[in-house]
Homo-oligomer: A and B are copies of this chain.
Amino acid sequence: MDRLDAIFSPESVAVVGASSTPGKVGHDIFENILKGGFQGTLYPVNPKARSVLSVRCYKSITDIPDPVDLAMIILPPRIALKTVDDCIEKGVKGIVIVSAGFKEVGGDGAIVEDEIAAKCREAGIRLIGPNCLGVINPSDSVRLNASFSARMPNKGNISFISQSGALCTAVLDFAADRGFGFSKFVSIGNKADVDELDLLRYYHKDPETNVIMIYMEQLRFRPGFIEEVKEITSGERPTPILVIKSGKTAAGAAAAASHTGSLAGTDAVYDAIFDQAGIIRVDTVDDLFDFAVAFSAQKIPADNRVAIITNAGGPGIIATDMTEISGLRLAKFSSDTDWNLHQFLPPTANFNNPIDVIGDATRDRYEKALETVIEDDNVDCVLMILTPQSMTDAIGTAQAIVNIYRTSTKPIICSFMGVVDVSAGVKHLQENQVPVYRFPEDAARAMGKLYSAARWLKRQILPEYELTFNEPRAREIVDETLAAGKTVLGEEDGQELLSCYGFDIPAMKIARNPAEAADFAEEIGLPVVMKIVSPQILHKSDAGGVKVDLKTREAVEKAYTEIMESCREYSPDADIKGILVQKMVPPGQEVILGVTRYPGFGHLLMFGLGGIYVELFKNVTFRLAPIGRNNARRMIRSIKGYEILDGFRGKPKADVEKLEKLLVGLSAMVTNHPEIKEMDINPLFVHEQGKGATVADIIITFEKTET
């Protein structure tokens, strides 16, 4: 028995702060539980009332003569705190604090919230809220509507978690209009105790929940969140999770020092978490419902081959368009299917996909066409489109679809276009859990989401690389750097740290005069690159501080003098440490690897094609550390323009395996050394397959962490 059962399926509920005055929250919530047909026992608690809505009232929760599972508290913070003590004394198992005025207003409210949370934790009581709309469970055996909303939703197999109370009301209202049912519905408010992960675990175990929807403003992220949620979305009994996350365009770390920092806004963290955990992000509340309906039918296509059956050409074209946009493709029918279709469809029909059963089709043609295509091994799923025309039999067609739907494992999604004329058919489909939409593009998009879930479930999982890193030496370097009061390492002093995690750095030395530079160049091997070394000169090229492809001793000496002159002019006060002489990196594809640390989340890793691609197109991917081989692989492969690394236009393939290992190494580095705040490895040159990759420039910044 889960402790959250006391909250979602209590046998007895006390409403502390129940009131007889309509319009007061303590009245409304009590009334909603009472009139919602709660299957357990309900006790109002109010020291000043004899009864509330004719129900005998108790002065304190401790006065109730029977055991109490759930206490709903609607009281100001200080009085709520006192009531929590009473609840502990009474032995309640769950508490929901609806009232506001806690952490969200700060000051004493925040202090009281922390005290309440601590007391509950110690007593083993789960707490929802404060500052929330409440809890709803429409299940027949419970029928608990402990919320502001007078409306008890239909029961269904979709559970909802909302961080916005106001949105809850609108969502319930909208759901009622669409005949949409819920299993569990909760507004989580300030999350003093129960948070998203608690609820995801609970919903996942709940046999009445098959789909989870979340409206999220800020996630309370905990280590292990990704791994655990990944298990929920793709483990033994996968439960799809759909999220609408707001605050999307909120300005990110605009003032960040690195490329990575400036590209990785907060939203990149969330996208990374959702990607890694298999959570499906949607953009609008409409989409949240549309996709939840599709998932609630619990059928996932084996592959992306769609059959479309329609009684009108135009909508068939619209569906075809959206099918292809959504990552699906039109199935090519077998010759059997083709032959069968010719047996009953009129000659004017279209026998190819999309099948047009023609405007005068009644139930019969739809039924036979669906029976035929759903048996075809080349078909993974079916879109059924019905437009109301004079011969159309919406209810009969719906009945036929439901019958076939029950006997097949392949998903069927319908679009019955129009509202009034087709409503009986729509209702029949909905009552039988066949997803149905008003427009064919919505049906096709929903099918596309089912297919992307199928790809997530079937994703390739390769064994991890066995990599060894020199963590002790890296630890020393980081400690020495911090002890010396340094917060930045560049290419001349940061390379050893990187090499501890598998990065290859070209041989280099710092020269202090032209002759020394020439000697070093010959020692390292020509050709070389030369770069100014000065903490004040960050943009070395702008200062004329970089010369490449120097092939002779003379060229090196000349370059030394020119670089010095140019940099002295550019920045007369700069402390110039010398000029770095570095072996010229062999040719390769430029990429960028980066890291930026997010308080509360950890390190966000970035990968992108380098140069103009990252600077202008901001074409990069993110993952939250730690990652292993499979995430590294997907990071690289999901980049737009990945073909450049994969032998585009006859060029040799790049060493993507090495790149994967370096991303894993980077992840290990920041996990082992959380003091790393930001890092750009830009560019990294990835050579041909088997030939590795070479770091050409780096910048690493440090900041001590509290942990």
Contacts and interface: CB of A to CB of B under 8 A. Distances in A.
A438 B174 CA distance: 8
Interface stretch (A89-97, A413-421, A591-599): A413-421
A165 interface: yes
A48 interface: no
A648 interface: yes
Given A285-B439, A390-B28, A441-B285, A217 B173 contact: no
Contacts of A388: 169-170, 173
Nearest to A286: B439
A284 interface: yes
Contacts of A324: 249
Given A148-B390, A164-B315, A615-B649, A321 B247 contact: yes
Given A164-B313, A166-B387, A439-B285, A321 B249 contact: yes
A586 interface: no
Most buried by B among A25, A441, A542: A441
A612 interface: yes
Contact of A176 (B166, B173, B389, B419): B419
Interface in A147-165: 148, 151, 162-165
Interface string A236-264: 00000000101111000000000000000
A420 B176 contact: yes
A172 to B, nearest CB: 8
Interface stretch (A76-84, A334-342, A636-644): A636-644
A318 interface: yes
Contacts of A641: 612, 616-617
Interface in A276-320: 283-286, 311-315, 317-318, 320
A600 B372 CA distance: 39
Given A164-B315, A312-B164, A325-B248, A169 B648 contact: no
A650 interface: yes
Interface in A415-451: 417-422, 438-439, 441-442
Oligomer: number of copies: 2
Given A419-B177, A420-B176, A615-B649, A387 B169 contact: yes
A192 to B, nearest CB: 18
Nearest to A438: B174
B284 A439 contact: yes
A312 B166 contact: yes
Contact of A441 (B162, B283, B359): B283
Nearest to A641: B616
A281 to B, nearest CB: 12
A538 interface: no
A322 B248 CA distance: 9
11 contacts: A166-B314, A167-B312, A169-B421, A170-B439, A172-B418, A173-B419, A174-B419, A177-B419, A217-B317, A286-B286, A612-B641
Given A167-B387, A286-B442, A617-B641, 13 more contacts: A164-B312, A164-B314, A165-B312, A166-B313, A170-B388, A173-B420, A173-B422, A244-B318, A246-B321, A249-B324, A283-B441, A542-B650, A617-B640
Interface of A: 23, 25, 28, 105, 148, 151, 162-167, 169-170, 172-174, 176-177, 215, 217, 244, 246-249, 283-286, 311-315, 317-318, 320-322, 324-325, 348, 359, 387-391, 417-422, 438-439, 441-442, 542, 612, 615-617, 640-641, 643-644, 648-650
